[in-house]
């Protein structure tokens, strides 16, 4: 036992209390009870001081529960419990109260401590790579590790590099061109569907219905070569459609963080999740076997398929790795899971946010449509080669993901004793060096980064034209993360988004859909102030009205 341990200190204190109490005639039971309480309090004080030292003494938040611990997630938000979404709920004041964009969070009753930052320079330091002092802790990926280790969940180093070797070849110009073409086809099929055909006005209670379906079908077609159309739900042999299975697993993904015995309890909600999970696992495993046969067959038809099927390219890249670096089938399933769920949800959430914001600003819609028509007129389809010409469309999408970044937290842990350079407050030059012991958690608050006045003028406002003078792949668009671990599917997402928005906004005006007696402010509060989190972060269900544009 360490001479300065809380237990040792408590025993000394208890011994002193006994001696003092006996001199004053206090009962042994009373003294023992008080001594135990005093020892626990003393232990908590020492533990709290260690946590303060671990975060370099940075000023910040001090609360009973750590927000990312199980109690911190379960208990409702209150004055004493910040809750899991505190970085969004307190986004306007969180850093201003300390005059810093890098602060600390220390729990004094249960849980750990962390450094919390909304600074891009700090994010670059901890983002990771093969030689970084920081790794992604496994605890940050609990809900996505159940399917197998994957690129998003890998801690770093050689493990991350192995996953990247297999995933990277799948994302090519051929794939992006296929994404563009398929998005246009799906849009035309959507307009020909019973819901849209012949309509001049269409009211939709949840715009996510079309953004999720579009994103999922683009992935199913361009990611897996399944050849599905708008009206054809991808199905399995045991009754539940793949679309339904995707939605259940996606929306209930947080169940993956619970102990296995809890999820197996006889409740319908849990049973549906397990059934959907089993369907997806069986389907993904079968797809790996099928793709391996495609890779080995080398027929002309299959060579064509390779150009537009990123799943097959993943399997091909894996087969070409040496035995030492080859991923297991379970790891391939893990990467397919991320491609399916995280991939389509990010695009779907951001498209919904973009359309919701544009519905409030018809003048911005008109400017975007003016640019679209100046490039392709009212009747021609846009070409993939014109992607960069639709700068205002892309800017609208970037501004949507800035305000609602799909990956709203980036968690890293110091793998070794290291030093973090923290920028001084706005208006001051230089940095402050903060020594970090091994194991210190550093969390990038992506909502805070994207609403930081250091980088954005009037950060709470939707102002898409701020992106017009930025390079297309600028790291200021850090909602896709930065450094080697930046989102591998960024171009996939932006290609699909630009194609979809170009077609949709040229044909339709978008307006908020209000309930009877509902004010515009109430609508905005409902949509923007109550975000949803499944695998990614996004606006709440957005009711919108689509009004067909009158062509000249």
- Of the candidates 177, 186, 169, which has an alpha carbon nearest to the alpha carbon of residue 310? 169
How many other β-carbons are positioned within 10 Å of the β-carbon of residue 229?
Answer: 14
| Residues 55-83 as b or e (16 or more Cβ within 10 Å = b) | bbebebbebebbbbeeebbeeeeeeebbb
d(CA 291, CA 16): 73
d(CA 62, CA 230): 51
d(CA 138, CA 147): 14
Using the structure block, give the residue that is written with the tokens 């609208």. Answer: 396
d(CA 421, CA 352): 37
Residue 338 has what DSSP assignment?
Answer: I
Residue 487 counted as an annotated binding residue: yes
In this structure, the dihedral spanned by the alpha carbons of residues 260, 265, 271 and 273, taken in order and rounded to 10 degrees, is -40
d(CA 478, CA 141): 20
d(CA 153, CA 136): 7
d(CA 188, CA 89): 39
The annotated binding site for heme is made up of 487
The annotated binding site is made up of 487
């Amino acid at each position: 036992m360490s001479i300065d341990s809380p237990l040792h200190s408590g025993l000394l204190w208890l011994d002193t209390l006994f001696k003092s109490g006996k001199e004053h005639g206090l009962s042994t039971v009373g003294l023992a009870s008080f001594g135990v309480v005093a020892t626990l309090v003393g232990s908590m004080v020492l533990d709290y001081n260690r946590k303060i030292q671990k975060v370099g003494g940075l000023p910040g938040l001090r609360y009973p529960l750590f927000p990312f611990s199980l109690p911190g997630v379960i208990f409702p938000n209150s004055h004493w419990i910040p809750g899991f979404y505190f970085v969004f709920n307190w986004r306007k004041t969180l850093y201003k109260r300390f005059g810093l964009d890098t602060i600390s969070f220390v729990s004094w009753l249960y849980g750990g401590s962390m450094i919390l930052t909304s600074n891009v320079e700090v994010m670059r330091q901890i983002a990771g790579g093969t030689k970084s002092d920081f790794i992604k802790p496994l605890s940050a990926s609990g809900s996505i590790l159940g399917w197998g280790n994957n690129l998003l969940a890998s801690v770093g180093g050689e493990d991350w590099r192995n996953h990247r070797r297999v995933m990277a070849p799948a994302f090519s110009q051929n794939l992006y061109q296929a994404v563009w073409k398929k998005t246009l086809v799906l849009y035309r099929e959507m307009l020909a569907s019973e819901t849209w055909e012949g309509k001049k006005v269409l009211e939709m209670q949840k715009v996510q219905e079309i953004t999720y379906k579009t994103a999922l079908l683009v992935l199913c077609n361009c990611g897996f070569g399944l050849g599905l159309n708008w009206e054809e739900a991808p199905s399995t042999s045991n009754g539940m459609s793949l679309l339904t299975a995707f939605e259940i697993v996606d929306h209930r993904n947080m169940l993956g963080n619970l102990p296995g015995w809890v999820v197996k309890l006889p409740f319908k909600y849990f049973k549906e999740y397990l059934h959907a999970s089993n369907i997806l696992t069986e389907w993904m495993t079968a797809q790996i076997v099928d793709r391996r046969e495609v890779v080995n067959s080398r027929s002309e038809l299959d060579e064509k398929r390779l150009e537009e099927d990123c799943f097959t390219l993943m399997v091909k890249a894996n087969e070409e790795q040496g035995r030492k670096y080859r991923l297991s089938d379970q790891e391939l399933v893990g990467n397919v899971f991320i491609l399916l769920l995280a991939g389509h949800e990010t695009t779907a959430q951001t498209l919904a946010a973009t359309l919701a914001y544009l519905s409030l600003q018809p003048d911005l819609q008109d400017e975007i449509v003016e640019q679209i028509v100046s490039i392709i007129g009212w009747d021609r389809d846009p070409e993939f080669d014109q992607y960069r010409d639709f700068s205002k469309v892309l800017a609208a999408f970037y501004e949507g993901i800035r305000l609602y970044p799909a990956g709203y937290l980036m968690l890293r842990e110091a793998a070794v004793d290291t030093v973090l350079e923290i920028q001084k407050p706005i208006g001051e030059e230089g940095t402050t060096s903060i020594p970090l012991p091994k194991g210190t958690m550093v969390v990038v608050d992506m909502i805070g980064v994207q609403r930081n006045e250091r980088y954005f003028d009037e950060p709470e406002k939707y102002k898409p034209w701020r992106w017009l003078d930025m390079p297309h792949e600028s790291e200021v668009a850090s909602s896709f993360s930065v450094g080697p671990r930046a989102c591998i599917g960024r171009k996939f997402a932006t290609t699909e988004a630009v194609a979809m928005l170009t077609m949709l906004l040229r044909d339709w005006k978008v307006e908020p859909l209000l309930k009877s007696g509902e004010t515009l402010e109430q609508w905005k509060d409902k949509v923007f102030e109550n975000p949803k989190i499944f695998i990614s972060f996004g606006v709440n269900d957005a009711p919108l009205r689509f009004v067909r544009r009158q062509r000249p």
